[in-house]
Amino acid sequence: MSTGIKDKVAIIGMGCTKFGERWDAGAEDLMVEAFEEAIADAGIEKNQIQAAWLSDCFEEIHIGKSALPLSLTLRLPNIPATRVENFCASGTEAFRGAVYAVASGACDIALALGVEKLKDIGYGGLPNSGSNSGSLNWLWMPNLTAPGAFAQLATAYAAKYKYSIDDLKRVLAHVSVKSHANGALNPKAHLRTPITEDQAISSPMVAHPLGLYDCCGVSDGAAAAIVTTPEIAKKLGKKDLVTVKALQLALSNGEEVQFNEWDSTYFVSTSKASVVAYKEAGIKDPRKEISMMELHDCFSITELITYEDLGISPRGGAPKDVLDGFFDLRGGGVPAQVDGGLKCFGHPIGASGLRMLYEMYLQLHGRADQRQLKDPKLGLTHNLGGFPFMNVVSIAIVGKEGV
Amino acid sequence: MVGIVSYGGYVPRRRLNRMSVIQEMGWYIPALMMVANGERSMCNWDEDSLTMAVASARDCISGFDKSKIDGIFLATTTPPFADRQNAGILATALNLREDIVTADFASSLKSGTTALISAVESLKSGEKKNVLVAASDHRRTKSASFYEMWFGDGSASLLLGNENVIAEYKGSFSLSLDFVDHYRGESQKFDYTWEERWIRDEGYAKIIPQAINGLFKKYGISIKDVAKVVYPCFISREHKGIAKKIGASKEQVVDNMHEVTGETGSAHPLLMLTAALEQSKPGDKIVVASFGQGSDALLFEVTEHITKLAPRRGVKGSLENRKEEASYAKFLKFNDLINAETGIRAEAATQTALTTLWRNKKMILGFVGGKCKKCGTLQYPKTNVCVNPKCNAFHTQEDYEFSDKEAKVMSFTGDYLAVSVEPPVLYGMVQFDGGGRTLLDFTDCDLENVQVGQTMKLSFRKKYYDKDRGFTGYFWKAILK
């Protein structure tokens, strides 16, 4: 009988680069920037790290294959290092590898580092892989982009819940306005300018009905976490531990895109992973118990629907919560995208999951400056990679030890 | 009795108003005004001679048992492949039996009628029972040329057989003359054409009457015995002139379709014949002649069965499914006649793994999915493990064709980021009425006309063009019903 990960692993150090169009930095520079902060925060020596996980997604446009780029860049002492890729869940996957290694007793201290250097391709948006996206996929999958794939949620959601596209766009605008307001308070965010609802609604169309401000930015960045057991953490003199409460992953099996039931207004995988994650963390009522969230707001509609998949809002109820300010930083509900989200950080894919954990870690330690929430206890991060109809979802819950 | 059993037509939905050419290029060649009446059909950017042939062939064989087709001939001067049998792609798209004869008839505008004669002869010998002939052309022309005005894009298909014949084949007469009014040399994109006056006087005006009169003489009939005469000539005035030369009245001559489609190349005699069949009654004799380094003239007699042929799109339905295109620039872009910016995003790899295509040819070209023998669930694509969560059986799926099934839109978008000849790219998820669903590109529709719940059907289209290797990739897209 599995006992879950709750309180078996503590995070003792984290680092995160400034995200943005880092014309000044290659992936190696970003890795070093995140690592230096994390190792200093942990207060350990590099040689104390016994295993490492590296995450990125589009390795072909920056670091290339294998975990060698991590080992070479940081000059790690010939320890095991593994590169993981699982679409947008990659960063959380690296974290999962490190956490499970420590929990299993295979090593005492492990590193997870995610990086993505997207802005070396010469054009906006994510890379277009063409026929390199899989030799069979190329022959039949629609000519789709990420915004177009997710925009379909909005047309289906509007049809199911009988919203006009204009009304739904106002709800989505509020999602983005809230994130921009938070990002404006964060010196590490890429986009730091607050926006208005009208700006969001009237922004140029990217994929109907999603406009520019419904889409997250495209950025470069890296983030890192150093983990160990609570016992070792205490021996190292750490206090007020932030521990891992749940770490779950769920993947589509093709039912959404091939079977006849899913209606394109929710994420099957998020709905399933959240239930398991809450059980692992011992959470009964997430709407009351979760203090804050960093959700995978690749697009505003993704965030809206995720509120429902996580059981924070009832089905069809997320728009009301959004308009009530339930997810705003000072809205009295469950603040979401506390650091500005993907909306303001952009989405250097391999780094995003760890960047989200970084904000939870800062908040739980009371180090989030202007964004600091009052006494947060549990933070939830969520990544969704792939497409609405076929995806990889990761959910991590971290919190104060003993909560 | 051997003859035509069914017909099918396809004319692309878009029609270029010829005045749009005058508006943009009339300053350059004012004489174009002489032929600027009406409109010409134009392929969408994802159509070519093969996709149009698939469309007309599907129309032609609708309601027929296609497992009985034992030969398929494709006539075109604009095949997407110089060496990869285009008729073979057509047969795969139609999901025909594998043990059939397929052949391309090419390199001449009379290839359509020659394919017809060959089909009839293979039936007469008794070797074949049902042969499908598809003719199609999408000819590129230089901007602001008379040929741009005269030509159109389209396809027609005829199913030939010996049961339930709607128009009996009575005979043919052929001429092979190396009269080079135009030619398209190897590796050339456009025709090189000689002076129109010579083509008119020494070509059309002599060769077509010679072929038709040769047919009459061979079978001992005269123009008076004939209800309709079909022959192409894009010079409308000369089209009428030929009628005089063969003694045909205005009522006997089938319109050259200049005002509604333009001349569709090797498909044109068959397209005009299809239009004639749509208006024929039992007992009508129809002569159809082609023009292209000689001529084939064929004689058919319409039978009682024509009244029993189930309604189909044909030419009439194709002409009714029409969207006027007023933008000449769009015509130029669709035909790759202007070098518009595509952005670095468009530079992605476009290679086709031929091994993958071969293994999945039914899935990709025939849109064949699976039906679980255990639980009955329909699914696309066909896979090793049933998608029904209550079944999930291994190795239980048999072939199931989705290409003729209707589907409802579940979700959609219009994507302005994706690389496209005509943004936004429309695509979405569709649910087939009998079960099964998939994501598909949408085509031939406008964003403002798409809604969740809307009924769609499928159309075989170009999916991508690999310009480095000259390979066109085909797949199915959803169009409005």
- Tell me, yes or no, whether B297 lies in a domain: yes
Q: How close is the nearest chain A Cα to the Cα of B438, in Å?
A: 6
Residues B329 and B428 in one domain: no
Is the pLDDT at B4 greater than 90, yes or no? Answer: yes
Summarised one tens digit per residue, pLDDT across range B162-217 is: 999 999 999 999 999 999 999 999 989 999 999 999 999 999 999 999 999 999 99
Is B352–A138 a contact, with Cβ atoms under 8 angstroms apart?
A: yes
Is the same domain home to A97 and A26? yes
Domain match, B279 and B416 both: no
pLDDT at A1: 81
Q: Report pLDDT for B187.
A: 86
Give B362-378 pLDDT, tens digit per residue.
999 999 999 999 999 99
CA B218 to mean position of chain CA atoms? 32
Please check whether residues A159 and A105 belong to one and the same domain.
no
A259 with A201, same domain: the answer is: yes
Between β-strands A51-55 and A81-84, what pairing exists: parallel, antiparallel or unpaired? parallel
Of B334, B368, B393, the position where a domain reaches its end is B334
How far away is chain B from the Cα of A285, in angstroms, using its nearest Cα?
Answer: 29
Q: Is residue A377 part of a domain?
A: yes
Cis peptide leading into residue A376 (ω within 30°) = no
Question: Which pLDDT band, with edges at 50, 70 and 90, does B98 fall under?
Answer: very high
- In chain A, how many domains are there? 2
CB contact at 8 A, A300 and A175: yes
Residue B12 C-beta-side C-alpha neighbours within 13 Å = 33
Q: Same structural domain for residues A265 and A309?
A: yes
> Percent of chain A at pLDDT above 90?
98
pLDDT given at position A194: 98
The pLDDT of residue B389 = 97
Do A396 and A282 share a domain, yes or no?
yes
Q: Which residue on chain A is closest to B476 by alpha carbon?
A: A140
CA distances from A182 to A187, A287, A325, B27, B276 (A): 11, 21, 13, 58, 70
Instruction: Establish if A387 belongs to a structural domain.
Output: yes
Domain membership of residue A256 as a residue range = 144-215+245-400
Checking if the pLDDT of A190 tops 90, the result is yes
Q: What percent of chain B has pLDDT over 90?
A: 99
Nearest CB to B415; choose among A131, A207, A257: A207
B431 → chain A, closest CA residue = A260
Partner-chain contact A208 B452, CB within 8 Å:
no
Q: What is the pLDDT of residues B49-86, one digit of tens each?
A: 999 999 999 999 999 999 999 999 999 999 999 999 99
CB contact under 8 A, B364 and A138: no
Chosen for mutation from B89, B417, B442 (greatest number of chain A CBs closer than 10 Å) is B417
Neighbours of B479 (CB within 10 A): 18
- The reply to whether A30 and A53 lie within a common domain is yes
B370 occurs within a structural domain: no
Using the beta-carbon criterion (under 8 Å), do B441 and A122 form an inter-chain contact? no
Q: Is residue A312 part of a domain?
A: yes
The answer to whether residue B472 is domain-embedded is yes
Q: Which domain holds residue B209?
A: 3-334
Residues A282, A227, single domain; the answer is no
User: Could A139 and B475 be called an inter-chain contact, meaning their C-beta atoms sit closer than 8 Å?
Assistant: yes
Instruction: Based on the fold, state whether residues A100 and A207 are members of the same structural domain.
Output: no
Instruction: Tell me what ipTM this predicted complex has.
Output: 0.94
CATH number at residue A22: 3.40.47.10
- Structural domain includes residue B72: yes
- Please count the other Cβ atoms lying within 10 Å of the Cβ belonging to residue A103: 18
User: Is A320 inside a domain boundary?
Assistant: yes
Residues in chain A: 403
A355 pLDDT higher than 90:
yes
> What is the per-residue pLDDT for A143?
86
Q: What is the model's pLDDT at position B99?
A: 97
Q: Among all residues of chain B, which has the CA nearest to that of A144?
A: B418
Mean pLDDT, chain A, integer: 97
By CB neighbour count within 10 A (0-12 exposed, 13-18 middle, 19+ buried), where does A268 fall? buried
Given a cut of 90, whether residue B439 has pLDDT beyond it is yes
Smallest Cα distance from B48 to chain A, Å: 18
Cβ–Cβ of B410/A264 closer than 8 Å?
Answer: yes
Could you list the active site residues of A?
A: 88, 347
pLDDT, one tens digit per residue, over B265-308 is 999 999 999 999 999 999 999 999 999 999 999 999 999 999 99
Q: How far is A90 from chain B (nearest CA, A)?
A: 24
Do residues B436 and B317 both lie within one domain?
no
CATH number for the domain spanning B453: value is 2.40.50.840
Shared domain for A229 and A210, answered yes or no, is no
User: Which residues of B are less than 8 Å from A209 in CB distance?
Assistant: 413
Judgement on whether residues A367 and A266 belong to the same structural domain of the protein: yes
Q: Are residues B192 and B297 in the same domain?
A: yes
Residue B271 is predicted with a pLDDT of: 98
Q: Are residues B327 and B461 in the same domain?
A: no
Enumerate the residues of chain B whose CB falls inside 8 A of the CB of residue A298: none
Query: What 3-state class would DSSP assign to B23?
Result: helix
A30: pLDDT strictly greater than 90: yes
